[in-house]
Amino acid sequence: MRRSTTSAAVIIACLLFAGMANASLLDKAKEQLNKDKGKKAAPSSPAASAAAGDEKTVAAGLKEALSIGSQKAVDAVAKQNGYFGNPKIKIPLPDNIRKAEKMLRKVGLSKQVDEFVLTMNRAAEKAAPVAKDIFIGAVKEMSITDAVGILRGGDTAATEYFRAKTGDKLYRAFKPAVSKTVQEVGVTRAYQSLVDKAKKTKLIKDESLDLDHHVTKKALEGLFTMVGEEEKKIRKDPVARVTDLLKQVFGK
């Protein structure tokens, strides 16, 4: 059944990455998939060997596309205002402060609230580049079976693959980087300034808060959101074919 699997993978890859929404093309693809279900290539036949080669080529092309997409996502969040300027991933106040935010602003603490939010997002932006190598490692470890499964999956199948494969590793790598940048950009100072002034109003308590964990967790959530956005683009729109392999697999 390898030829059948390969044909399916190639058809789906072309549809996903070339952005073919034409109904007649989809109908033809379905017809071909149905025909392939009844076909078998002998394991030692030239057809079977070609199928194996096609499968490897499709997997290699997908890996290259995912490498490019994930790096674009990291670059997008790592620049200034990558988090802060994007409402979808902007790191919010911790829950204990968010609940009192409106009242804090009413009593004249808007400047302190804004500074705290800004510094958290700046810390995430400075820490983000550590994710690149981890994503690249996950792509390299991807098997042909993984690649075919991703091709057949939903709009964010690759993102979920990344999340499952890299989530814990990213957290462990991200947190020390965040901890360093939290100090550099003054997150702790901004938080303490806000708490010190807010204590007089009794709107929030001077309680222990793991700022490193909060920023790391929200930064990773935002990063995976951006990876998902890049994946959706790849699946719906033509990809910039910047290498010969991508041109070979997905068309010029």
Residue with more model confidence, 136 or 58: 136
Are the beta carbons of 212 and 175 closer than 8 angstroms? yes
Residue 251 confidence (pLDDT) above 60: no
Strand segments (E) across 137-227: none
The position carrying tokens 């080669």 is 53
Reply yes or no on whether the pLDDT at 2 is more than 70. no
Who's near 232: CB < 8 A, 6+ residues apart?
A: 155, 156
Asked if residue 219 has pLDDT above 70, the reply is yes
Residues, the chain, total? 252
Place of tokens 């462990």: 172
pLDDT digit string (tens) for 179-216?
Answer: 999 989 999 899 888 888 887 777 777 666 789 999 99
User: What pLDDT is attached to residue 28?
Assistant: 39
Q: Please name which of 91, 89, 125, 132 lies closest in space to residue 225, comparing C-alpha atoms.
A: 89
Q: Parse the chain into domains and list their residue ranges.
A: 61-250
Q: Which of 2-6, 29-33, 69-73, 130-134 has the lowest mean pLDDT?
A: 29-33
pLDDT tens per residue across span 53-67 = 577 777 787 787 788
In the chain, helix, strand, coil percent, each to 5? 75, 0, 25
What is the rounded distance in angstroms from the CA atom of residue 168 to the CA atom of residue 163? Answer: 8
**How far are the Cα atoms of 27, 175, 184, 204 from residue 172, in angstroms, in the given order?**
46, 6, 19, 30
Structure confidence at residue 220 (pLDDT): 95
Q: What letters, b where the CB count within 10 A reaches 16 and e where it falls short, cover 215-247? A: bbbbbbebbbbbbbbbbeebbeeebebeeeebe
Average pLDDT of span 114-126 = 95
Confidence of residue 27 (pLDDT cuts 50, 70, 90): very low
| Inter-CA distances, 100 with 93, 96, 97, 189, 190, Å | 10, 7, 5, 19, 16
Inform me whether the pLDDT recorded for 158 exceeds 50: yes
